[in-house]
């Protein structure tokens, strides 16, 4: 079942009054399938949703297993009326510590990329002018990739954030965020640098800054800078 179908099922059960789901374990024989703790479904987006309301609805979230090892929920930061939103995969150690997205080394690189590209292109924006968040709001243990069910559950909050801000464009950072938003099987090297759409909002895909931190990825770094240039001109010209 693909994520869109799973979402449809979840919305259907929520609409008819269910407020919890049970997940079956894959590790046990069929006859002995244990039932895990119920996962409360994300709340329906109210009319006139706001970021404050979404954060309230997240609360002290325990809707997926990522709650177990987190220190802080990393909701998102930046301009709540931004024309541009960056979406990464999930918090790392520094982000988990501070409760803010993209504050570690990868985050510093992202800041540099945004501010240096904007300044070279004569576009008067700085990092606080955009909004930055992740697909999952809690740090996956050992920085592993979030599981599909974790992205599916937490992704509902991301979608509400995007619908609330309604930016002129979204920049997707890396393959995991790309899968969460675009449900594509294409690799990032083929998808990056091109325009896609999430609902009716244009999406530019580029590499995750943590990938660009590796020394041998100089070519990817140049490509990411080009992607950003295209994106910034589209949004701010």
Residue ranges that bind ligand SF4, judged by CB under 6 A: 58, 61-64, 66-67, 73, 136-138, 150, 153-154
Q: How far is the CB of 75 from ligand SF4 (least distance, A)?
A: 8
Q: How far is the CB of 64 from ligand SF4 (least distance, A)?
A: 3
- Contacts for 163 with CB less than 8 Å, ≥ 6 apart: 45, 49, 199
Say how far apart CA 77 and CA 112 lie, in whole Å: 17
Q: Which is nearer to ligand SF4, 137 or 221 (CB)?
A: 137
Contact 45, 58 (CB under 8 A): no
Q: Which long-range contacts (CB under 8 A, 24 or more apart) does 188-192 make?
A: 192/223, 192/224, 192/227
Q: How far is the CB of 123 from ligand SF4 (least distance, A)?
A: 33
Contact 217, 183 (CB under 8 A): no
Q: How far is the CB of 99 from ligand SF4 (least distance, A)?
A: 12
Contact 172, 85 (CB under 8 A): no
21 strand-pairing partners: 39
Q: Which is nearer to ligand SF4, 69 or 222 (CB)?
A: 69
Q: CA 106, 134, 77, 124: dihedral to nearest 10 degrees?
A: 60
Q: How far is the CB of 201 from ligand SF4 (least distance, A)?
A: 22
Q: Which is nearer to ligand SF4, 109 or 153 (CB)?
A: 153
Q: Which is nearer to ligand SF4, 136 or 224 (CB)?
A: 136
Q: Which is nearer to ligand SF4, 71 or 217 (CB)?
A: 71
């Amino acid at each position: 079942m693909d994520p869109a179908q799973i979402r449809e099922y979840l919305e259907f059960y929520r609409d008819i009054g269910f407020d919890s789901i049970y997940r079956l374990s894959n590790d046990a024989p069929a006859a002995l399938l244990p039932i895990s703790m119920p996962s409360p479904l994300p709340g329906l987006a109210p009319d006139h949703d706001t970021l404050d309301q979404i954060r309230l609805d997240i609360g002290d979230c325990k809707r997926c297993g990522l709650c177990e090892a987190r220190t802080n929920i990393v909701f998102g930061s930046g301009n709540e009326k931004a024309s541009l939103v960056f979406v990464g995969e999930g918090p790392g150690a520094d982000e988990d510590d501070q409760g803010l997205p993209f504050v570690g080394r990868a985050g510093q690189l992202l800041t540099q990329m945004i501010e240096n590209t904007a300044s070279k292109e004569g576009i008067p924006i700085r990092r606080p002018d955009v909004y930055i968040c992740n697909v999952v709001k809690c740090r996956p243990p050992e920085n592993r990739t979030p599981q599909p069910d974790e992205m599916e559950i937490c992704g509902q909050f991301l979608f509400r954030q995007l619908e609330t801000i309604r930016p002129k464009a979204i920049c997707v950072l890396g393959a995991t965020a790309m899968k969460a938003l675009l449900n594509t099987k294409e690799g990032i090297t083929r998808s990056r640098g091109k325009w896609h759409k999430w609902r009716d909002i244009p999406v530019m895909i580029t590499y995750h800054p943590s990938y660009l931190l590796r020394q041998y990825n100089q070519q990817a770094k140049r490509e990411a800078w080009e992607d950003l240039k295209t994106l910034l001109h589209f949004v701010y010209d």
